[in-house]
Amino acid sequence: MTEPANGGAFPELFGVIRDYAQGDHDHQVQALRVIAAAYLPIYEAPPMPDAREVVEGVLARNGFLLISPETGGLEPSSVDAVVSVATSRLDEEDLKWGAGCLMGMMDALRQRAQEQGYETFVLDSGEVLDGLETILAADIVEDVVEEALEGEDL
């Protein structure tokens, strides 16, 4: 196993992910899929480097709407990657970041619907709202854990 470097474990994998995130649409989707899978809250493994900048960079380059060419709807990995990174450490700053990214997606969905019409708006907004629900639940868990730890200190 690789020792943590630059803020996390597996820096070589993170470098590949970061490079893919700079590529074309297909490479960006693959980067987000790997992030969604690699940034799960696993307590036995050392944490990966902070991927917020990578995820937000892909989203920003796509106007917060990474669209699947096959369906014309939102690429699910964009929501999954945000949720995974936001909840992987149960850190308040990460949770706020994730909620902010998903709200940016909701705003972009709304704008697209107003300007172009949008056949998959209901499905896509439902997926983003599910992501927000997951982040909210993680925020509640983080508060409960924090309170429990504070109770132990007394």
Residues 51-109: tens digit of each pLDDT: 999 999 999 999 999 999 999 999 999 999 999 999 998 889 999 999 999 999 999 99
Query: Is 57 inside any structural domain?
Result: yes
Q: Inform me whether the pLDDT recorded for 2 exceeds 70.
A: no
pLDDT at 139: 86
Query: Is 111 inside any structural domain?
Result: yes
* CA 69/CA 58 separation, integer angstroms: 16
β-strand partners of 5: 8
φ and ψ at 15, to 5 degrees? -60, -40
pTM of the entire predicted model: 0.88
Question: What are the pLDDT digits (tens) for 114-154?
Answer: 998 888 899 999 999 999 999 999 888 877 777 777 777 65
For 113, other C-beta atoms within 10 Å of its C-beta total: 16
Domain ranges, residue 97: 11-153
Query: Could you tell me which of 83, 4, 92 has the C-alpha nearest to residue 48?
Result: 4
Q: Provide the greatest CA pair distance for the chain.
A: 58
Per the structure, the count of domains in the chain is: 1
* CA 146/CA 124 separation, integer angstroms: 33
Run of H or E including 143: helix 121-153
* CA 89/CA 100 separation, integer angstroms: 17
Residue 29, CA distances (Å) to 54, 55, 66, 92, 97 in order: 12, 10, 8, 26, 20
Query: Is 4 inside any structural domain?
Result: no
**CA 71 centroid distance within chain:** 21
pLDDT at 98: 97
Question: What are the pLDDT digits (tens) for 38-67?
Answer: 998 766 777 889 999 999 999 999 999 999
pLDDT at 1: 34
Query: Is 129 inside any structural domain?
Result: yes
β-strand partners of 114: none
